[in-house]
Copies of this chain bind each other. A is one copy, B any other.
Amino acid sequence: MKIKYKLKHIDHNARYGTIETNYGTFETPMFMPVGTLANVKTLTPEELKATNSAIILSNTYHLWLRPGEGVIDKAGGLHKFMNYDGPILTDSGGFQVFSLAEKKNITEEGVTFKSHIDGSKLFLTPEISIKVQNKLDSDIAMSFDECPPYPVSREYMEKSVDRTLRWAKRGKDVHNNPKQSLFGIVQGGEFEDLRKKSALETIKLDFDGYAIGGTSVGEDKPTMYKMIDDAIGYLPEDKPRYLMGVGDPVDIIEGVIRGVDMFDCVLPTRLARHGNAFTKYGKINLKNLKFKEDFTQVDECDCYTCKKYTKAYLRHLITCNETLGGRLLSIHNIRFLIRLTEELREAIKENRLLEYREEFLNNYTKNES
């Protein structure tokens, strides 16, 4: 079956809801950890579940190249391949073409670019992206879009928005997996009228959910929040809304207040591998000498890492490049964002979201650099 979204409560523009999938029902707002290459780096599915993470994102572009969608199809789909029995969303590859590919050439038909692995020439189209995602058998597939950098000219963005709309239609036309939902993506950069047009034309295609794309591509925070504001009002109430590539705690809160239901980002795992941890009082870097003999836990937190290990031990592992350090901090950072969404959901249900934001920010900006 396709996913089923239920809107259950609204506080300001923030929404508390549930999404039913073939692999269980989860509550929204929800943060999705990123499992680029069919694993959330260093972690097992059991560890993800222990953080109360309910849905992960995996990357079509990466899986298309390695191991190839054919291998995953033969394994029985991505869930079986990686032994993960929760819902999975796959992106379309559009963002990776933007961020990883060299010498790309965008035409009406699709994008020609060089592989980030071996430099070989690749050609990705809306049809290929959707067909690959059909084979991966994720629960939610994403439309193939162009994700322009920031800033680009209005003239370029106008053409890009129109092309992304045509690509969305082409992808939808070939989508052929009755168990898989398909989301459209609103683009338009920082141009209010283009966001409006992109939103209105995308919803005409009647997707199972809608993403706001083209954020986290170099713009400042007020611009990012305006991009959300310019699009979200046009999206239907009865479908989930997903803000792509956003994982900073403050941005998650600002997104939720504006009506976003889903988020994803590599931030918690990437920060972890570099020795950084989210805490109630802002980010800290465990490499800092002041933690050398700090035998307290990283944060006021209920995760495995905080229950079992001290800052001094994590600092030791991180400074010695022992990968267990990044693994333990990944668990903590993911739990931090999942717990944030848990608290946001409670605040929405109790109509005290703005108070929650104020309290969170008062604490979080204390150490934040």
Residues of chain A touching chain B, judged by Cβ–Cβ distance below 8 Å, are 37-39, 41-44, 66-67, 71, 74-75, 81-83, 292-293, 295, 308-310, 312-313, 315-317, 319-320, 322-324, 327
Contacts and interface: CB of A to CB of B under 8 A. Distances in A.
A312 B81 contact: yes
A116 to B, nearest CB: 12
A308 B39 CA distance: 14
A295 B67 CA distance: 13
B312 A67 contact: yes
A43 B327 CA distance: 9
B75 A317 contact: no
Contacts of A41: 322-324
10 contacts: A37-B320, A38-B313, A41-B324, A42-B323, A42-B327, A71-B312, A71-B316, A74-B293, A75-B313, A81-B312
Interface centre among A37, A74, A320, A324 (most CB of B within 10 A): A324
B39 A324 contact: yes
B75 A39 contact: no
A347 B309 CA distance: 39
Nearest to A38: B316
A320 B66 contact: yes
Contact of A44 (B74, B81, B316, B324): B324
A49 to B, nearest CB: 13
Contacts of A81: 310, 312-313, 316
Given A66-B319, A320-B37, A324-B39, A308 B83 contact: yes
Interface centre among A43, A293, A310, A322 (most CB of B within 10 A): A322
Contacts of A319: 66-67
A292 B71 contact: yes
Contacts of A42: 42, 323-324, 327
A191 to B, nearest CB: 38
A66 B312 CA distance: 11
A82 B66 CA distance: 36
A67 B316 contact: yes
Contacts of A324: 39, 41-44
Contacts of A322: 37, 39, 41
Nearest to A313: B81
A147 B148 CA distance: 62
A213 to B, nearest CB: 26
A67 B37 contact: no
Nearest to A319: B66
Interface centre among A38, A39, A316, A327 (most CB of B within 10 A): A316
A348 B37 CA distance: 45
A2 B67 CA distance: 53
Nearest to A328: B44
Contacts of A66: 316, 319-320
Contacts of A316: 37-38, 66-67, 71, 81
